Amino acid sequence: MDDRTTAEMAGLLSAYDEQMRGVPPNPPAGVGYEQDGPLTRTVGQFRGFISAPRDVQVRGAELDALIARQRDRFAARGEAVEWKIRGHDLPSDLTDRLRAAGFTAEAEETVLIGRAEHMASPPVLPDGVVLRQVTARADMHRIAALESTIWGQDLSMIGDDLTRRVAAAPDDLVVLVAEADGEVVSAAWLVFRTGTEFAGLWGGSTLSAWRGRGIYRALVAARAHIAAARGVRYLQVDASGDSAPILRRLGFHAVTTTTPYIWSPPREPVGP
């Protein structure tokens, strides 16, 4: 990596840390934010969320107490919570202390950033597939059913979440579906971050029978076109191992990794 590329990556990561580590405005109905020192808790979703700066600025026993307060707050609510950790976060023992407090790591993903104007192009779709922007509750629940089928678990909460987010801030969220003969075969959404240079690409899950035909790339191109038209400079993705290679080929740059650390309330015992 040459000096120019190194400087470019550092600039992208710095912009990401400065602009994408807080909470978005316009929370859906029933969702609220709580501040605890350097942390912001999001409550009222199907799973809580903890947002933190790159460096939480506390160490040792003080850090353990901060972690315990988050766990205990969500335990009192009977809710699970996600604390998203990036690969360059500080202090270096934060993840060890999260695990000691009962948090469990999920799969690591790669944070990729690309220029919206470079990704924007007319989407190229296989024969018989069309893209459609959706806002109706029924379509959001069709997306949730798609996600549940793909991932083999009940993800019905996605339908309610998308519905509430569109209702709260319709200009902040664009939801697209790819359909074939009226069946949703893939879905993805674009999340604008007011006051930043960024928009986030989320979703993109595709039924197995339709993978490898360019639908994911078409959804990226379509959302990039919408973002560029709105003056967005950067697109950001938390990419799985399947998506990251496609995005790199499209011109996205990996700047760090991200790993969700999850705490869930203990299950009630079943039976006598």
* Residue-range domains of the chain with CATH: 3-111+259-263 (3.40.630), 114-254 (3.40.630.30)
pLDDT value of residue 267 = 74
Determine contact, residues 37/58, Cβ cutoff 8 Å.
yes
Q: Place 8 in a pLDDT band, splitting at 50, 70 and 90.
A: confident
pLDDT at 5 over 80: no
Six-digit token pair at 98? 């999260």
pLDDT in tens, 85-108: 999 999 999 999 999 999 999 999
pLDDT value of residue 272 = 53
**pTM of structure:** 0.91
pLDDT value of residue 25 = 73
Residues 117-123 have a mean pLDDT of: 92
Q: Place 201 in a pLDDT band, splitting at 50, 70 and 90.
A: very high
pLDDT value of residue 53 = 95
Q: 140, 158, 166: which is closest to 28 by C-alpha? A: 166
Amino acid, res. 153:
Q
Q: What percent of the chain has pLDDT over 70?
A: 97
> Could you count the other beta carbons within 10 Å of the beta carbon of residue 52?
21
